[in-house]
Amino acid sequence: MNPGIDSPRRPRILVNIPILNEIEYIDRLVRGVTGALAGYDYLLLIVDGGSTDGTLEYLERAMAEQPGRIALLVKKKVLSGCQRGAALLAGLKWGLQNGDFDIFVEMDGDLAHRPEQLPSGIETIASGAADIAIVSKYAPGSRIIGRSAHRTLISLICNFAVRILIRRDLHDFSNGYRFFNRAAAELPARCAIRYGSPVYLTEVMAIWMKHGLKVVEIPGNYMGRDEGLSKVRLVDYLKAGLGVMEIAIRFHFTGFRPVAGSTADDSRRRAA
């Protein structure tokens, strides 16, 4: 894709990446993203959860070296457990409030998601082919590299359960490598989001589907990490399962409540 052709204005892109103590990966991540997006109009937003390993110091140097290309939002965790969803939502709202971004990208900060796949996802949204594109682990042509067989099996079982509860035509509800347009970005910002954990990914996908947005899955490579079973407790699976069931109830029956004071909430009150 040549972002300067066939468009009166190049699409402005926000790449939203939550991190916490990623000094091992942060240099390769920043270099990978900036290299893949050379020639694009973009901003890399890092949402840091309170790193103490030198990640923040690296980012301060990187921002000085690339002014206007990298922004940092520090959002320290206040709850236990993974709060990736809360960080993503904070970054999304920041992007809506601080720029005229046309395309929003979300990805992991540990190189599990490959920066070289950024142009293909951006092109899918810029072309109007979809409102949301997911780099799916289970799309034809995708590869899962360096992930144990038992973790892959658990992921498949969990995604199958989510598909049964919510909708079967999407295969990878929990993948965090996502591209979406501004209209899709505005929807979760207007809704009362209940989950700050990774279940947030399923909650937002259910909101998009409930509103009829077009979602496509595109192939890509997923790089596994040190994901032993000891890192994922049984209670985490139980909490996630209960969360997904609650989301399914809203998806099929009660709907997703808008944030008080939002445009959607005002419209609902006027209609009443």
pLDDT in tens, 162-188: 999 999 999 999 899 999 999 999 999
Cβ of 209: how many Cβ atoms within 10 Å?
Answer: 18
**Structure confidence at residue 272 as a pLDDT band (50, 70, 90):** very low
CA nearest neighbour of 176 among 107, 95, 84? 107
CA distance 24 to 262: 40
> Which residue did the predictor score with more confidence, 272 or 240?
240
Lowest mean per-residue pLDDT among 50-64, 139-153, 229-243: 229-243
The number of residues making up the chain comes to 272
pLDDT score recorded for residue 157: 83
Q: Which residues pair with 214 in a beta bridge?
A: none
CB atoms within 10 A of CB 269: 10
Report if pTM > 0.75: yes
For the chain, report the end-to-end CA distance as a whole number of angstroms: 47
pLDDT above 90 coverage of the chain, percent: 71
Angle (CA) 95-244-89 rounded to 5° is 10
Predicted confidence (pLDDT) per residue in 28-76, tens digit = 999 999 999 999 999 999 999 999 999 999 999 999 999 999 999 998 7
E-assigned strand segments in the chain: 12-19, 41-48, 70-74, 103-106, 132-135, 143-145, 178-181, 215-218, 221-223
| pLDDT value of residue 231 | 46
Name the CA dihedral angle for 173, 16, 232, 193, rounded to a multiple of 10 degrees.
-60
Domains and CATH numbers, the chain: 12-264 (3.90.550.10)
- At 262, the pLDDT band (50, 70, 90 cuts) reads low
The SS3 assignment for 109 reads coil
Nearest CA-CA partner of 104 in 115, 118, 114, 84: 118
